[in-house]
Structure 1
Amino acid sequence: MSRRLYVHVGLQKTGTSYLQAALLNSTAQLAAQGLDLVPPSKRECFELMVVIRNRYEARRDEASDRATVERFTNQLDKAPGSRAVFSQESLAAAGPAQIDRLLDACGDREVHAVITVRDLARQLPSMWQEDLKAGGTTRFGAYLRGLQELERAGKAKAPWIHLDPPTVASRWAAALSADRVHVITVPPAGSPTDLLLQRFARVLDVDATRLEPEDRPSNSSLGLVQAEVLRRVNAELPEEVHRRYVYGDVVKRQFGAQVLGAQEKQRILVPAKFRSWCEEVSERHVADLAQGGYRVEGTLEDLRCTEAAFAEGSTRPSEGDVAAASVTAIASMLAARGTAEAERRTGEIRVGEDGLLTKVKRKLGK
C-alpha cells in the first residue's frame, strides 16, 4: 500500500493557524506515530504554495521554482513515516492545473485532500479583517456586497473561493476522487477549545492528546472598533509602506496584532440585511457537500448560520469609540518607544561611567 500524503488546503480563516501551530509544536510526537511534516517549516510550506500557484509571477525565477518543487519531492521520498502532511491554506484557491502540478511532485504517495470549513456568518468578519491586514480600506458592508456579487455571478475566484467549500472540494475530488477528500467542520462557538484539533487528528490518524497546541491564538483577531482604526490608517499610509515586505512587519504584525490586537474587543457581526443571503448560501453548501461523497469529520450542521452571528442595528462604531481606540494605540506605541529609548540611554550612561572609571584607575596606576 502506498504511503499517504494529507494536503491540508484550508479554507482560510477556518482554524488553519491553530492547527499548523499544533503540528509544528509536536513534530517529535507526530513522528513517533508515523506522521511527518513535509515541508518541515511554515516558511517552506508557504514557498511551495507560491511556486505551485505561480504567485508573484513577475518576480519568479524558473530555476529556483524547480528547485523548490524538487526539494519537496525529495523530502517526501526521504520521510520515514507511513504518512505525511502538508498544510497551506492558500492552496484552497488552486485551480485544476495547479493541483495537477502539486500532485506530479508527490511521487508515488497516495494523496488525500483535507478541507476545513466554517459557517459563513462567522467566516465573513474574519475574511474582512484579513483584507484590512493586507492593507485594505473597504468598509465591511461594501466588502460583503462585493462578495455577494462574486457569488451570484458564479465566479470561483479570490476572495470568494475561500468561502466556497463545495467548489474547492469538487476541484480536488476531480483530481483525486471524492473518497480521498476529507471535509472537517469547525465546531460552533462554545464548543471545547480542542475539538477542531481532535477532528483534524482523527483524519491524520494520530492521538490528539499527544499534540501541543498553542495556549494563545497565533492569529489574533481585531474588534469592531480596532478594525475601523486599521482601515482608516491604511487609507492614510504612503504607497511605500503598502509594499508587502514593509506592511507585513510594520503594520500587520506590530500595529495590527500587537497594538490594536491587545485592546478590548467588540465582536464583529454581520449586518442583518445579509442574513437571508448567508442562510441561502449555507444551505446550498450543506446540500452540495452532503451529495459530494466526501468523508466528513464533524457534522455539516456546523455550517448553518446562528442568530448570534448577526447584528440588528448599525455595525459602524461611533466616532468617539474610534477616537478613544486611536489615542490608546498612540499611547501604547509611545510607551513602548519611550521605554526602549530610556533603556538605551541608561546603557549609554553606564558605558560612559565605566569608561571614565577605567581612565581614573589608569592614572592612579590601579
Structure 2
Amino acid sequence: METDCTRDDIPVNGTPAGDGRTGAPAPLPAGTRLLHIGPHKTGTTAVQGALFAAKDKLPEHGVVFPAGSRHPMEAALAACARPGMMGDTVPTERHWTRLVEQVAAAGRHTSVVSSEFFADAADEAAIGRIVEQLGGDRVHVLVTLRPLARIMPSQWQQYVQNGLRMGYPDWLEHMLRKPPYEKPNPSFWRRHRHDRLIERWARVTGPDRITVVVVDDRDRDGLMRTFEALLGLPGNLLQPVPDTANRSLTLAETEMLRNLNVEFRGNELPDELYSRLVRNGAVMHMKNTCSPTPHDVKIVTPRWAVEAAAGIGAEMMARIGASGVRVLGDPALLSAVPEPSGEVPGEARIAPEVAARALYGALAAAAAAPVRHTAQAKARTVHQTSSKELVRVLGHRCLKRLRRR
C-alpha cells in the first residue's frame, strides 16, 4: 500500500507507476471512468470548478468532463435516492440517466465525474448500480479525505444553510457523545465515517480500484496536481477558480441564519420560500458581496471535540490501511491534534452592512421571481387568527405585492 506521495514504484490498475513528475502517481489507463465521491468538505468544489473551467482543453489530452455544469448534484442525488436541498428542485431519474449517457458518449476517452453526494449512497445495491451504469470494470473510485476536526465546523454551517436550528456546541455533543450519533443529521457519519465509506465501495469495486488521497491543507495546489497525474494531464492545467459563493460563513453569519431558521420553522413557512429567498437569496448575496475580515469570529471547535475527532481519525485510518486500497499522502494528518491557537474568541456580532446585504438579497430574490405556493388561509378576522399564521399570511401578501410591482 502506498502511503507517501514521494513513492512512485507502485502500479495503478496494473500500469507502470510514475509519469516523470516527482512524487506523482501514474496515469490511470485510457478509457477509465474516474469517479470522485468526495466526501463533503474535502476540496470537492475546488476540483469541480477547475475541471469545468478546463473542460474545453481536456479532450486534446484524452480526457472528458461529461457534465453540463460544474457539479452534477441532481444526478448524484437521484442515483443515491436522496432528496435535494431544502426547497430545491426534486432530483429525478432523468438527471441521472442524462449523466450516464454523457459518460457513455466519452467512448475510449478517460472521463471524470465528481460529486460529494455519491458518498451518500446508502448500501452496496445503490453503489453497485452506480458503478455498473457508469462503466462497470472501467470505474476507478477516488476518495479525498481531510481531518475530521477541520470538516466538522464546515459541515455544521453547511447544515445550517439547509435549515438546521441546532447550535454548534449542541451539535458536537450529538455527533460525538450521544449514541446512536444520528441526530439531527444522520448523513454526517454516513459521509464521514471514512473507513466504512471506503469499505462499502470496496466491496463493490474491489480495493484495487480505489485510490484515497489525504489532502494536505498546507499544500494548496497538491490536490490539483494529483488529479492531473491520475488523468495524465499536463502540469498546472487545472487551476483554482475563485468562488465566493462557496465560502464558509463566519460564526456571526451562521448564528444569524440559524436564528432565522428557528423563526422560519416555527412559523411553518413553505420550503420553496426558504430555498428562493434565504439560501439562494439572502445567503448567496451575502457571500458574494461580503468578505470575512480578520476581526470576524470563526467557528471554533472545543478542545474535547478536536481530540475526539483525532481519535476517530486514527481508528479510521487504521482500518483504511488494512483494507488494501491505495493511499496517497500522509495518513498521520487525519489523526493529528493541532496546537491550540491561544486566541480568545470574541463576541460573534453581525456587522450592519452584512445584515443589510443579506436582507437585500432576500428582497431582490422575491422581486425577481416570487415563490408560488398552494397554501391559503381561511377567511377569518385578525383576532381569530394565530400569530404564527398571521406571519405566514403577511409574508405571502408581501410576495404578491412585490410580484405586482
Q: Structure 1 length normalisation: TM-score?
A: 0.78
Q: CA deviation at 1:89?
A: 0.5
Q: Is the 8 A contact 1:5 1:84 kept in 2?
A: yes
Whole-angstrom distance in 1 between the partners of 2:341 and 2:193: 20
**CA-to-aligned-CA distance 1:156-191 (integer Å, 9 cap, x gap):** 951212221111111111000111111111213xx2
Amino acid at match of 1:282: G
Amino acid at match of 1:92: A
Q: CA RMSD in A?
A: 3.2
* Residues 1:242 and 1:23: Cα distance change in structure 2 (over 3 Å): farther
Whole-angstrom distance in 1 between the partners of 2:340 and 2:31: 42
Amino acid at match of 2:124: P
* Residues 1:286 and 1:333: Cα distance change in structure 2 (over 3 Å): closer
Of residues 133, 142, 148 in structure 1, which corresponds to 2:161?
133
- Whether 2:357 is the aligned partner of 1:329: answer no
Whole-angstrom distance in 2 between the partners of 1:161 and 1:237: 28
Match of 2:402 in 1: none
* Residues 1:248 and 1:68: Cα distance change in structure 2 (over 3 Å): closer
Match of 1:158 in 2: 187
Whole-angstrom distance in 2 between the partners of 1:111 and 1:300: 24
Secondary structure, counterpart of 1:248 in structure 2: helix
Whole-angstrom distance in 1 between the partners of 2:223 and 2:244: 13
Q: Percent identity?
A: 24
Match of 1:285 in 2: 316
- Whether 2:55 is the aligned partner of 1:24: answer no
* Residues 1:112 and 1:236: Cα distance change in structure 2 (over 3 Å): same
Q: Structure 2 length normalisation: TM-score?
A: 0.71
Amino acid at match of 1:185: V
How many residues align structurally?
323
- Whether 2:172 is the aligned partner of 1:144: answer yes
- Whether 2:331 is the aligned partner of 1:304: answer no
Gaps of 5+ in 1: 340-366
**CA-to-aligned-CA distance 1:59-101 (integer Å, 9 cap, x gap):** 9xxxx62x44443343223214531111110111212111111
More displaced 10-residue stretch of structure 1: 105-114 or 82-91: 105-114
Q: CA deviation at 1:120?
A: 0.8
* Residues 1:247 and 1:311: Cα distance change in structure 2 (over 3 Å): farther
* Residues 1:81 and 1:302: Cα distance change in structure 2 (over 3 Å): farther
Amino acid at match of 2:208: D
Match of 2:202 in 1: 173
**CA-to-aligned-CA distance 1:94-124 (integer Å, 9 cap, x gap):** 1211111112312455111111111011100
Secondary structure, counterpart of 1:104 in structure 2: helix
* Residues 1:241 and 1:194: Cα distance change in structure 2 (over 3 Å): farther
Q: CA deviation at 1:200?
A: 2.7
* Residues 1:71 and 1:223: Cα distance change in structure 2 (over 3 Å): closer
Matches within 5 A, 1:1-366: 3-42=31-70, 45-56=72-83, 65=93, 67-94=94-121, 95-107=123-135, 110-149=138-177, 153=180, 157-188=186-217, 191-216=218-243, 218-237=245-264, 243=271, 245-259=272-286, 262-264=291-293, 265-308=296-339, 318=347, 321-322=348-349, 325=350, 327-333=352-358
**Structure having the higher Rg:** 1
Q: CA deviation at 1:29?
A: 2.0
* Residues 1:230 and 1:138: Cα distance change in structure 2 (over 3 Å): same
* Residues 1:333 and 1:183: Cα distance change in structure 2 (over 3 Å): closer
Whole-angstrom distance in 1 between the partners of 2:151 and 2:301: 10
Amino acid at match of 1:275: V
Q: Is the 8 A contact 1:229 1:326 kept in 2?
A: no
